[in-house]
Chains A and B, each alone.
Chain A
Amino acid sequence: MQGIIKQRPPSLPSPALPDLRNLGSILRILLAVNGAALLVALAREPRLTALASEWAALTGFVEPHLFAELAVLWFAQPWLARVSFRGGVAIITAITCVISVGVDALFPRMTGEAAGSLARHLAFALVTQFMLIGYFRLRARALSPAITEARLQALQARIRPHFLFNSITAILSLVRSEPRRAEAALEDMADLFRVLMRDNRELAPLADEVELCRQYLELEQLRLGDRLAIDWNIKSMPGDALVPPLVLQPLLENAVYHGIEPSIERGVLSINIFLSRDEVHAILRNPYIANGARHHVGNKMALDNIRERLALHFDAEASLESRATRDSYEVHIRMPYRRQKPATAGNDASTSSRHERSRDHGTQKRREPRLPALLPGTPVTRSLRIEPWLNHRSAS
């Protein structure tokens, strides 16, 4: 009963504070602060020749503040992730003030004539800090519609209607002669569509994604028979790694569509998933069949879609590369190894999976009631969201 009553929030708790452990966020902060220092140097030093030394001097005493702040924020991240936006800003402001005062006190020499007073440092630090928070808030706002869209996009870009109707035909062909196989196939199909139609904005365990891929490939094998051979290499796969849902299935669908279907001969689709240096790697390979340009447009769309979702969740820590050789096509996905541990959950809530939530009521209560007014509207928006997919497809 739980599942029926429990509705997920229509939008995630506002992810206004960045994940301060994310490489991408850290890089952005480093660039912004040093860029700001360059601006100050430009303002203070009119001669271009002396600019470099001015900038070096400035960064010389900005950097200790910056690194200290980043280090403190790194440790504070899990805690910051749980407080409200205002609370988070207040905490960060306090941290900034303490560090400014602290560094000035610890390294008094640096506060010599060139550096100016503590008040100036504080002003510089706070202005930079608020501008950065503003920037990250804007960025999160700009991206959150994209997160909302991600599921819809996943639907639109993926599951070719051809697959749906051919699968139904295949199942119909089993109903009379092999009713049990027909039942299993319908169950696979139900699971597949359940995942496709649900809210897929949050990370989910890799094991779930692989299970979905298995069900999908079962259906394809029903249709294609011996033409589709699958080589699974997932023994050392970290099943608990959190990944964006539908990160692999669309790629397999492409692999079947481009690599298996156009050929009469048997083709092998190989799936390699492993953990290496705290990174999850997934390598998918299929036979490469040179075929008209039409095919490659669809493939590029799928890759772009997944790349975008990887960026939304992991920023610079994930990548997707594809390459075609003479007779094979390969996609390589690299993602950070994140696990379901509430303590390390990023504040954009994407790191807490649905599974964790359904088990952990505490977490759920803490997060969901933020937008209570919107909850009753959820089922409506949900059905509306499915429709455009059907329209979109029949129109194209």
Chain B
Amino acid sequence: MAESPLRVLIVDDEAPARHRLRELLDDCAGVLPISIIGEAQHGREALDILHSASADLVLTDIHMPGMDGIELARHLLKLSRPPVVIFTTAFHEHALAAFEVNAVDYLVKPVRVQRLLSALQKLPRLKPMTVEKLTQLPASARRFLSVTDRSRVVLVPVDEVIYLKAELKYITIRTAQREHLLEESLTRLEQEFGARFVRVHRNCLVARDFIRGFERRANNDGDAHWEVLLHGIEESLPVSRRQQYIVREIGREVMNGAAA
């Protein structure tokens, strides 16, 4: 058993809960070499820590302000060597049924040392987490989209996204500052963030908050089509014939918004 120690990151918004896990991990250290690489209060802090250090295991609470555990697990998958994630939660909600079904590991708080130890011992045999599994879990919409940039995970706050446009293999995320490339399905994104974005074209979702107005433009063939004008960027996007009804629907909201 002269292996390198298991590197663990603890994520919980409650300090006593982090402290308790640390104590329990210390208790396990007699059986299994463990090194705690850090503690984070929420998902974003965890990702920050993982920029400079790597972990084999992330023990994360589910309910946390800022970024919850399930969203954190999704972003962690973008790392080149994603750590194993085990969720900790205070209560056997029916939500946990989904965890069982998808064989996602979790520990119920207060955590028992035996339970923690057996989870640590079966770690090498665990199958890696998948996006499919995670999307099956009852989670609220993510607050961030994550993209990999030179093996680092970059978070793009969903409220800064102006539009999402599918192009060949990737989706372009446009914010006021820059563009990112994302490997996800536009339909799934639409399901997840339905209230926030509106489909203006088969390949494009636009954030309602960023719509400044609509403009009628002439095509080369003499026909005309609508274009969405956006806040924050000069670009405009075409509205497809099929989605034309949104011009009227949202146009009214925009006008009302301007009046108010």
Q: Note whether A and B form a binding pair.
A: yes
Say yes or no: B90 contacts A174, CB within 8 Å.
no
Q: Interface size for chain A: under 10, 10 to 19, 20 to 34, or 35 or more residues?
A: 20 to 34
Say yes or no: B41 contacts A166, CB within 8 Å.
no
| B65 within 8 Å of A (CB atoms) | yes
Encoded as 1 (CB less than 8 Å from any B CB) or 0, chain A from 369 to 396 comes to 0000000000000000000000000111
**Are A264 and B65 also in contact (CB < 8 A) when A161-B90, A170-B14, A173-B17 are?**
yes
Q: Which of A173, A174, A263 has the most CB of B within 10 A?
A: A173
Say yes or no: A173 contacts B66, CB within 8 Å.
no
**Are A394 and B17 also in contact (CB < 8 A) when A264-B65, A292-B140 are?**
no
Say yes or no: B14 contacts A172, CB within 8 Å.
no
Of the candidate stretches A55-63, A103-111, A218-226, A307-315, the one touching chain B is A218-226
Q: How many A-B residue pairs have CB under 8 A?
A: 62
Among candidates B15, B16, B42, B109, residue contacting A165 with C-beta atoms closer than 8 Å: B109
Distance, CA A171 to CA B17, complexed state (A): 9
For B19, give the chain A residue with the smallest CB separation.
Answer: A173
Chain B, range 10-24, C-beta contacts under 8 Å to A: 13-17, 19-20, 23
Q: Interface size for chain B: under 10, 10 to 19, 20 to 34, or 35 or more residues?
A: 20 to 34
For B93, give the chain A residue with the smallest CB separation.
Answer: A396
Say yes or no: B14 contacts A165, CB within 8 Å.
no
Say yes or no: B140 contacts A223, CB within 8 Å.
no
Say yes or no: A166 contacts B14, CB within 8 Å.
yes
**Are A225 and B20 also in contact (CB < 8 A) when A169-B110, A394-B92 are?**
no
| A168 within 8 Å of B (CB atoms) | yes
| B91 within 8 Å of A (CB atoms) | yes
Say yes or no: A165 contacts B91, CB within 8 Å.
yes
In the complex, what residues of B have CB within 8 A of residue A225's CB?
14-15
For B17, give the chain A residue with the smallest CB separation.
Answer: A169
Interface positions of B (Cβ within 8 A of A): 13-17, 19-20, 23, 41-42, 63, 65-66, 90-94, 108-111, 140
A222-B16, A264-B13, A292-B140 known; 14 other A-B pairs, CB under 8 Å? A161-B90, A162-B63, A165-B90, A165-B109, A168-B110, A169-B14, A169-B20, A173-B17, A173-B20, A173-B23, A223-B16, A225-B15, A264-B42, A264-B66
Interface positions of A (Cβ within 8 A of B): 161-162, 165-166, 168-174, 176-177, 222-225, 261-264, 292, 394-396
